Structure 1
Protein backbone atom coordinates (compact mmCIF):
# COMPACT_ATOMS: atom_id res chain seq x y z
CA UNK A 1 0.00 0.00 0.00
CA UNK A 2 1.36 3.42 -0.91
CA UNK A 3 2.40 5.81 1.84
CA UNK A 4 0.18 8.92 2.05
CA UNK A 5 1.88 12.02 0.63
CA UNK A 6 0.48 14.28 3.33
CA UNK A 7 1.45 13.69 6.99
CA UNK A 8 -1.32 12.58 9.35
CA UNK A 9 -1.86 14.90 12.33
CA UNK A 10 -1.40 13.24 15.73
CA UNK A 11 -1.63 16.38 17.87
CA UNK A 12 -2.02 20.08 17.21
CA UNK A 13 -1.79 23.06 19.54
CA UNK A 14 -1.76 26.56 18.14
CA UNK A 15 0.87 26.63 15.39
CA UNK A 16 2.60 23.47 16.65
CA UNK A 17 1.76 20.23 14.85
CA UNK A 18 2.89 16.66 15.53
CA UNK A 19 2.27 14.57 12.44
CA UNK A 20 3.07 11.03 11.37
CA UNK A 21 4.57 10.37 7.96
CA UNK A 22 5.47 6.73 7.46
CA UNK A 23 7.99 5.71 10.12
CA UNK A 24 8.73 9.32 11.06
CA UNK A 25 6.97 11.68 13.41
CA UNK A 26 7.37 15.28 12.28
CA UNK A 27 7.33 18.21 14.69
CA UNK A 28 6.18 21.22 12.68
CA UNK A 29 6.00 24.88 13.69
CA UNK A 30 3.71 26.79 11.37
CA UNK A 31 5.37 30.04 12.43
CA UNK A 32 2.19 31.85 13.48
CA UNK A 33 3.67 33.40 16.63
CA UNK A 34 4.47 36.92 15.38
CA UNK A 35 1.20 37.10 13.42
CA UNK A 36 -0.84 36.06 16.47
CA UNK A 37 0.87 38.61 18.73
CA UNK A 38 0.48 41.42 16.20
CA UNK A 39 -3.18 40.55 15.61
CA UNK A 40 -3.86 40.69 19.35
CA UNK A 41 -2.16 44.07 19.68
CA UNK A 42 -4.05 45.48 16.70
CA UNK A 43 -7.39 44.28 18.07
CA UNK A 44 -6.65 45.99 21.40
CA UNK A 45 -5.67 49.20 19.58
CA UNK A 46 -8.83 48.95 17.47
CA UNK A 47 -11.05 48.61 20.53
CA UNK A 48 -9.37 51.40 22.49
CA UNK A 49 -8.94 53.98 19.74
CA UNK A 50 -12.13 53.08 17.84
CA UNK A 51 -14.16 52.94 21.05
CA UNK A 52 -12.95 56.28 22.40
CA UNK A 53 -13.29 57.86 18.97
CA UNK A 54 -16.88 56.65 18.59
CA UNK A 55 -17.82 57.79 22.10
CA UNK A 56 -16.32 61.25 21.52
CA UNK A 57 -18.10 61.66 18.19
CA UNK A 58 -21.43 60.66 19.73
CA UNK A 59 -20.78 62.92 22.73
CA UNK A 60 -19.94 65.97 20.60
CA UNK A 61 -22.89 65.38 18.23
CA UNK A 62 -25.42 65.50 21.09
CA UNK A 63 -24.86 69.25 21.59
CA UNK A 64 -23.42 68.59 25.03
CA UNK A 65 -20.64 70.98 25.98
CA UNK A 66 -17.32 69.26 25.38
CA UNK A 67 -13.71 70.24 25.74
CA UNK A 68 -12.72 67.56 23.23
CA UNK A 69 -12.90 68.62 19.57
CA UNK A 70 -14.85 66.39 17.21
CA UNK A 71 -11.80 66.12 14.94
CA UNK A 72 -9.89 64.35 17.69
CA UNK A 73 -12.70 61.84 18.07
CA UNK A 74 -12.84 61.34 14.29
CA UNK A 75 -9.08 60.85 14.16
CA UNK A 76 -9.19 58.22 16.91
CA UNK A 77 -12.07 56.47 15.15
CA UNK A 78 -10.09 56.42 11.87
CA UNK A 79 -7.08 54.92 13.67
CA UNK A 80 -9.39 52.26 15.09
CA UNK A 81 -10.84 51.48 11.66
CA UNK A 82 -7.37 51.32 10.05
CA UNK A 83 -6.04 48.91 12.68
CA UNK A 84 -9.19 46.78 12.31
CA UNK A 85 -8.52 46.47 8.57
CA UNK A 86 -4.88 45.50 9.16
CA UNK A 87 -5.96 42.98 11.83
CA UNK A 88 -8.40 41.51 9.31
CA UNK A 89 -5.56 40.99 6.82
CA UNK A 90 -3.47 39.29 9.50
CA UNK A 91 -6.35 37.01 10.48
CA UNK A 92 -6.69 36.04 6.82
CA UNK A 93 -2.95 35.35 6.58
CA UNK A 94 -3.13 33.12 9.65
CA UNK A 95 -6.10 31.26 8.17
CA UNK A 96 -4.19 30.72 4.90
CA UNK A 97 -1.19 29.40 6.85
CA UNK A 98 -3.41 26.89 8.69
CA UNK A 99 -4.87 25.72 5.36
CA UNK A 100 -1.45 25.08 3.80
CA UNK A 101 -0.56 21.41 3.49
CA UNK A 102 1.80 20.19 6.22
CA UNK A 103 4.17 18.88 3.56
CA UNK A 104 5.00 22.50 2.62
CA UNK A 105 6.51 23.18 6.07
CA UNK A 106 10.01 22.20 7.14
CA UNK A 107 9.86 20.21 10.39
CA UNK A 108 11.73 21.66 13.38
CA UNK A 109 12.60 18.09 14.41
CA UNK A 110 11.94 14.49 13.37
CA UNK A 111 11.46 11.41 15.50
CA UNK A 112 12.63 8.59 13.26
CA UNK A 113 10.88 5.55 14.73
CA UNK A 114 12.24 3.22 12.06
CA UNK A 115 15.87 3.86 13.02
CA UNK A 116 15.01 4.89 16.64
CA UNK A 117 16.81 8.26 16.37
CA UNK A 118 16.02 11.92 16.95
CA UNK A 119 16.91 14.23 14.06
CA UNK A 120 17.17 18.03 13.87
CA UNK A 121 15.47 20.33 11.34
CA UNK A 122 18.14 19.51 8.74
CA UNK A 123 17.65 15.75 9.08
CA UNK A 124 20.97 15.27 10.89
CA UNK A 125 21.26 12.62 13.58
CA UNK A 126 21.23 14.12 17.10
CA UNK A 127 20.80 11.20 19.53
CA UNK A 128 19.12 7.80 19.83
CA UNK A 129 15.48 8.06 20.93
CA UNK A 130 16.17 6.67 24.39
CA UNK A 131 18.35 9.74 25.09
CA UNK A 132 15.81 12.48 24.27
CA UNK A 133 13.06 13.95 26.47
CA UNK A 134 10.63 16.67 25.58
CA UNK A 135 9.77 19.24 28.20
CA UNK A 136 8.34 22.68 28.79
CA UNK A 137 10.59 25.48 29.99
CA UNK A 138 9.58 28.94 31.13
CA UNK A 139 10.53 31.93 28.99
CA UNK A 140 11.77 35.18 30.46
CA UNK A 141 9.66 37.29 28.10
CA UNK A 142 6.38 35.37 28.08
CA UNK A 143 3.81 33.81 30.36
CA UNK A 144 3.71 30.77 28.06
CA UNK A 145 6.34 28.04 28.21
CA UNK A 146 8.52 26.97 25.29
CA UNK A 147 8.90 23.39 24.06
CA UNK A 148 12.42 21.98 24.10
CA UNK A 149 14.10 18.66 23.41
CA UNK A 150 16.63 17.78 26.10
CA UNK A 151 19.50 15.53 25.00
CA UNK A 152 23.00 14.80 26.31
CA UNK A 153 24.20 17.02 23.44
CA UNK A 154 22.22 19.99 24.80
CA UNK A 155 18.80 21.59 24.78
CA UNK A 156 17.12 22.18 21.41
CA UNK A 157 14.36 24.80 21.11
CA UNK A 158 11.39 23.48 19.15
CA UNK A 159 8.68 26.12 19.70
CA UNK A 160 8.28 29.33 21.66
CA UNK A 161 4.76 29.36 23.05
CA UNK A 162 2.72 32.54 23.23
CA UNK A 163 -0.55 33.13 25.08
CA UNK A 164 -2.29 34.49 21.96
CA UNK A 165 -1.91 31.33 19.87
CA UNK A 166 -2.81 28.66 22.38
CA UNK A 167 0.68 27.99 23.76
CA UNK A 168 2.16 24.51 23.45
CA UNK A 169 -0.45 22.64 25.47
CA UNK A 170 0.50 19.07 26.37
CA UNK A 171 2.49 18.38 23.20
CA UNK A 172 5.51 17.46 25.34
CA UNK A 173 3.57 14.55 26.85
CA UNK A 174 2.48 13.36 23.40
CA UNK A 175 6.07 13.45 22.13
CA UNK A 176 7.43 11.63 25.18
CA UNK A 177 4.77 8.95 24.73
CA UNK A 178 5.80 8.54 21.08
CA UNK A 179 9.48 8.28 22.06
CA UNK A 180 8.72 5.70 24.79
CA UNK A 181 6.56 3.52 22.52
CA UNK A 182 8.38 0.51 21.17
CA UNK A 183 7.92 -0.52 17.53
CA UNK A 184 5.78 -3.59 16.87
Structure 2
Protein backbone atom coordinates (compact mmCIF):
# COMPACT_ATOMS: atom_id res chain seq x y z
CA UNK A 1 0.00 0.00 0.00
CA UNK A 2 2.98 2.32 0.30
CA UNK A 3 3.53 2.60 -3.45
CA UNK A 4 1.95 5.35 -5.51
CA UNK A 5 1.92 3.35 -8.74
CA UNK A 6 -1.45 3.77 -10.49
CA UNK A 7 -3.38 0.49 -10.36
CA UNK A 8 -4.67 -1.22 -13.52
CA UNK A 9 -8.47 -1.30 -13.67
CA UNK A 10 -9.82 -4.83 -14.11
CA UNK A 11 -13.54 -4.17 -13.66
CA UNK A 12 -15.81 -1.27 -12.78
CA UNK A 13 -19.50 -1.11 -12.06
CA UNK A 14 -21.57 1.56 -10.36
CA UNK A 15 -18.55 3.53 -9.16
CA UNK A 16 -16.88 0.47 -7.62
CA UNK A 17 -13.52 -0.37 -9.17
CA UNK A 18 -11.52 -3.58 -8.93
CA UNK A 19 -7.92 -2.82 -9.78
CA UNK A 20 -4.61 -4.58 -9.65
CA UNK A 21 -1.31 -3.14 -8.45
CA UNK A 22 1.36 -5.80 -8.48
CA UNK A 23 0.24 -8.61 -6.18
CA UNK A 24 -2.49 -6.45 -4.64
CA UNK A 25 -6.12 -6.43 -5.71
CA UNK A 26 -7.58 -3.10 -4.69
CA UNK A 27 -11.26 -2.31 -4.30
CA UNK A 28 -12.02 1.41 -4.68
CA UNK A 29 -15.39 3.12 -4.32
CA UNK A 30 -15.36 6.38 -6.25
CA UNK A 31 -18.21 7.62 -4.03
CA UNK A 32 -20.40 8.73 -6.90
CA UNK A 33 -23.66 7.22 -5.57
CA UNK A 34 -25.24 10.35 -4.06
CA UNK A 35 -24.42 12.44 -7.14
CA UNK A 36 -25.89 9.76 -9.42
CA UNK A 37 -29.13 9.86 -7.40
CA UNK A 38 -29.22 13.66 -7.63
CA UNK A 39 -28.74 13.48 -11.42
CA UNK A 40 -31.63 11.01 -11.70
CA UNK A 41 -33.94 13.26 -9.66
CA UNK A 42 -32.91 16.31 -11.71
CA UNK A 43 -33.65 14.46 -14.95
CA UNK A 44 -37.16 13.65 -13.69
CA UNK A 45 -37.74 17.25 -12.53
CA UNK A 46 -36.49 18.63 -15.85
CA UNK A 47 -38.70 16.35 -17.94
CA UNK A 48 -41.85 16.71 -15.82
CA UNK A 49 -41.67 20.48 -15.23
CA UNK A 50 -40.45 21.14 -18.77
CA UNK A 51 -43.22 19.02 -20.28
CA UNK A 52 -46.01 20.57 -18.23
CA UNK A 53 -44.55 24.06 -18.75
CA UNK A 54 -44.33 23.61 -22.53
CA UNK A 55 -47.90 22.25 -22.73
CA UNK A 56 -49.22 25.14 -20.59
CA UNK A 57 -47.49 27.79 -22.69
CA UNK A 58 -48.51 26.14 -25.95
CA UNK A 59 -52.14 25.73 -24.82
CA UNK A 60 -52.33 29.35 -23.70
CA UNK A 61 -50.80 30.54 -26.98
CA UNK A 62 -53.31 28.44 -28.94
CA UNK A 63 -56.16 30.02 -26.99
CA UNK A 64 -57.15 26.90 -25.05
CA UNK A 65 -56.15 28.27 -21.65
CA UNK A 66 -56.12 31.62 -19.86
CA UNK A 67 -53.16 33.99 -19.78
CA UNK A 68 -52.59 32.96 -16.13
CA UNK A 69 -51.83 29.47 -17.35
CA UNK A 70 -49.18 30.90 -19.65
CA UNK A 71 -47.45 32.51 -16.68
CA UNK A 72 -47.67 29.24 -14.78
CA UNK A 73 -46.17 27.52 -17.81
CA UNK A 74 -43.31 30.02 -17.92
CA UNK A 75 -42.65 29.43 -14.20
CA UNK A 76 -42.61 25.66 -14.78
CA UNK A 77 -40.19 26.12 -17.67
CA UNK A 78 -37.95 28.24 -15.42
CA UNK A 79 -37.88 25.43 -12.82
CA UNK A 80 -37.06 22.95 -15.60
CA UNK A 81 -34.24 25.19 -16.83
CA UNK A 82 -32.80 25.48 -13.32
CA UNK A 83 -32.99 21.70 -12.87
CA UNK A 84 -31.33 21.15 -16.26
CA UNK A 85 -28.51 23.51 -15.28
CA UNK A 86 -28.01 21.73 -11.95
CA UNK A 87 -28.08 18.41 -13.80
CA UNK A 88 -25.36 19.63 -16.18
CA UNK A 89 -23.19 20.72 -13.24
CA UNK A 90 -23.77 17.37 -11.47
CA UNK A 91 -22.90 15.31 -14.56
CA UNK A 92 -19.68 17.29 -14.96
CA UNK A 93 -18.85 16.60 -11.30
CA UNK A 94 -19.38 12.87 -11.97
CA UNK A 95 -17.08 13.03 -15.00
CA UNK A 96 -14.38 14.77 -12.98
CA UNK A 97 -14.67 12.18 -10.21
CA UNK A 98 -14.39 9.31 -12.71
CA UNK A 99 -11.37 10.98 -14.28
CA UNK A 100 -9.43 11.19 -11.02
CA UNK A 101 -6.64 8.65 -10.55
CA UNK A 102 -7.49 5.69 -8.32
CA UNK A 103 -4.61 6.57 -6.02
CA UNK A 104 -6.53 9.71 -4.99
CA UNK A 105 -9.22 7.53 -3.34
CA UNK A 106 -8.90 5.53 -0.13
CA UNK A 107 -9.38 1.84 -0.95
CA UNK A 108 -12.34 0.03 0.55
CA UNK A 109 -10.31 -3.18 0.71
CA UNK A 110 -6.91 -4.51 -0.32
CA UNK A 111 -6.34 -8.18 -1.03
CA UNK A 112 -2.61 -8.90 -1.01
CA UNK A 113 -2.04 -12.09 -2.97
CA UNK A 114 1.67 -12.18 -2.05
CA UNK A 115 1.13 -12.24 1.73
CA UNK A 116 -2.38 -13.79 1.38
CA UNK A 117 -3.95 -11.12 3.62
CA UNK A 118 -7.18 -9.09 3.31
CA UNK A 119 -6.78 -5.54 4.71
CA UNK A 120 -9.38 -2.84 5.14
CA UNK A 121 -8.99 0.68 3.78
CA UNK A 122 -7.01 1.78 6.85
CA UNK A 123 -4.51 -1.06 6.35
CA UNK A 124 -5.65 -3.21 9.28
CA UNK A 125 -5.58 -6.95 8.67
CA UNK A 126 -9.07 -8.43 8.47
CA UNK A 127 -8.55 -12.07 7.53
CA UNK A 128 -6.41 -14.45 5.50
CA UNK A 129 -7.41 -14.22 1.84
CA UNK A 130 -8.04 -17.97 1.72
CA UNK A 131 -10.83 -17.55 4.31
CA UNK A 132 -12.66 -14.75 2.44
CA UNK A 133 -15.63 -15.30 0.17
CA UNK A 134 -17.49 -12.68 -1.83
CA UNK A 135 -21.27 -12.62 -2.07
CA UNK A 136 -24.07 -10.43 -3.29
CA UNK A 137 -26.85 -9.94 -0.77
CA UNK A 138 -30.02 -7.92 -0.79
CA UNK A 139 -30.35 -5.10 1.72
CA UNK A 140 -33.60 -4.02 3.24
CA UNK A 141 -33.54 -0.39 2.13
CA UNK A 142 -33.04 -0.93 -1.60
CA UNK A 143 -33.99 -3.10 -4.52
CA UNK A 144 -30.30 -3.40 -5.42
CA UNK A 145 -27.82 -5.88 -4.03
CA UNK A 146 -24.81 -5.15 -1.87
CA UNK A 147 -21.37 -6.70 -2.22
CA UNK A 148 -20.03 -8.29 0.95
CA UNK A 149 -16.87 -10.08 2.04
CA UNK A 150 -17.63 -12.99 4.34
CA UNK A 151 -14.78 -13.78 6.74
CA UNK A 152 -14.51 -15.99 9.84
CA UNK A 153 -14.79 -12.80 11.93
CA UNK A 154 -18.02 -11.66 10.28
CA UNK A 155 -19.39 -10.03 7.17
CA UNK A 156 -18.10 -6.72 5.83
CA UNK A 157 -20.08 -4.62 3.38
CA UNK A 158 -17.82 -3.58 0.50
CA UNK A 159 -20.42 -1.67 -1.56
CA UNK A 160 -24.15 -0.97 -1.34
CA UNK A 161 -25.65 -0.82 -4.79
CA UNK A 162 -28.48 1.51 -5.72
CA UNK A 163 -30.90 1.43 -8.65
CA UNK A 164 -30.03 4.89 -10.02
CA UNK A 165 -26.33 4.50 -10.75
CA UNK A 166 -25.96 0.78 -10.81
CA UNK A 167 -25.91 -2.13 -8.48
CA UNK A 168 -22.84 -4.28 -8.20
CA UNK A 169 -23.10 -6.18 -11.47
CA UNK A 170 -20.98 -9.33 -11.43
CA UNK A 171 -18.25 -7.85 -9.23
CA UNK A 172 -18.64 -10.69 -6.73
CA UNK A 173 -17.62 -13.20 -9.41
CA UNK A 174 -14.83 -10.93 -10.68
CA UNK A 175 -13.42 -10.50 -7.16
CA UNK A 176 -13.56 -14.24 -6.54
CA UNK A 177 -11.75 -14.95 -9.79
CA UNK A 178 -9.10 -12.24 -9.36
CA UNK A 179 -8.40 -12.70 -5.64
CA UNK A 180 -8.49 -16.49 -5.55
CA UNK A 181 -7.37 -17.17 -9.11
CA UNK A 182 -4.09 -16.57 -10.89
CA UNK A 183 -2.87 -12.96 -11.23
CA UNK A 184 -3.23 -11.34 -14.64
Residue in structure 1 matched with residue 134 of structure 2 by the alignment: 134
How far does residue 150 in structure 1 lie from its aligned partner after superposition?
0.8
Q: Please, what is the CA RMSD of the aligned residues?
A: 1.8
What number of residue pairs does the alignment pair up? 182
Residue in structure 2 matched with residue 155 of structure 1 by the alignment: 155
How far does residue 60 in structure 1 lie from its aligned partner after superposition?
0.2
Distance 2:121 2:154 in 1: 15
How far does residue 69 in structure 1 lie from its aligned partner after superposition?
2.1
Residue in structure 2 matched with residue 99 of structure 1 by the alignment: 99
Alpha-carbon distance change, 77 to 135 in structure 1, aligned in 2, over 3 angstroms: same
In the alignment, is residue 116 of structure 1 matched against residue 112 of structure 2?
no
How far does residue 63 in structure 1 lie from its aligned partner after superposition?
1.9
Residue in structure 2 matched with residue 40 of structure 1 by the alignment: 40
How far does residue 68 in structure 1 lie from its aligned partner after superposition?
5.7
Q: Verify the 8 A CA contact 2:25 2:179 in the aligned structure 1.
A: no
How far does residue 182 in structure 1 lie from its aligned partner after superposition?
5.4
SS in structure 1 of the partner of residue 136 of structure 2: strand
**Please, which runs of 5 or more residues in structure 2 have no aligned partner?**
none
How far does residue 154 in structure 1 lie from its aligned partner after superposition?
1.1
Q: TM-score, normalised by structure 2?
A: 0.93
Residue in structure 2 matched with residue 79 of structure 1 by the alignment: 79
In the alignment, is residue 30 of structure 1 matched against residue 36 of structure 2?
no
Q: Verify the 8 A CA contact 1:56 1:68 in the aligned structure 2.
A: no
Q: TM-score, normalised by structure 1?
A: 0.93
Alpha-carbon distance change, 133 to 163 in structure 1, aligned in 2, over 3 angstroms: same
**Please, which runs of 5 or more residues in structure 1 have no aligned partner?**
none
Q: Verify the 8 A CA contact 1:4 1:21 in the aligned structure 2.
A: no
Distance 1:109 1:82 in 2: 39
How far does residue 75 in structure 1 lie from its aligned partner after superposition?
0.9
Distance 2:4 2:65 in 1: 70
